[in-house]
């Protein structure tokens, strides 16, 4: 599989959980930046007007890069720590067509 992206929306339990979720995200992104060359974009966003929602936009060089991301110790630890903070989450896989800022 060639380059692909995904969007994940997280709905968080409460304000205290949102603070912890953001802390965990910051730590995870530091590891991803340092250890995952195949993760091309990993961007976490707050949602305007929805203080308990977060959206991640992720772009991977290929399926191998995504599998390496999912198997990384820091990602496994992130998932284990963040899951109790959530009410729900939704993942959508994307196939980039045209873009700026992504490799061609």
Distance in angstroms (rounded) separating the CA atoms of residues 30 and 10? 20
Distance in angstroms (rounded) separating the CA atoms of residues 54 and 48? 9
Distance in angstroms (rounded) separating the CA atoms of residues 60 and 81? 23
Distance in angstroms (rounded) separating the CA atoms of residues 25 and 46? 12
Q: What is the DSSP letter of 17?
A: H
Contact 7, 55 (CB under 8 A): yes
Summarize the confidence of residues 8-33 as an average pLDDT: 98
Q: Does CATH number 3.30.70.100 belong to domain 4-94?
A: yes
pTM beyond 0.75: the answer is yes
Confidence of residue 101 (pLDDT cuts 50, 70, 90): confident
Q: What is the CB neighbour count within 10 angstroms for residue 26? A: 10
């Amino acid at each position: 599989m060639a380059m692909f992206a995904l969007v994940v929306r997280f709905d968080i339990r409460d304000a205290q959980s949102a603070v912890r979720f953001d802390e965990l995200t910051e730590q995870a992104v530091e590891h991803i930046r340092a250890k995952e060359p195949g993760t091309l974009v990993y961007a976490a966003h707050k949602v305007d007007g929805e203080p308990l929602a977060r959206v991640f936009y992720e772009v991977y060089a290929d399926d191998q890069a995504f599998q390496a991301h999912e198997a990384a110790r820091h990602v496994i630890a992130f998932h284990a720590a963040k899951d109790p903070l959530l009410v729900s989450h939704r993942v959508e896989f994307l196939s980039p067509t045209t873009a700026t800022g992504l490799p061609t």
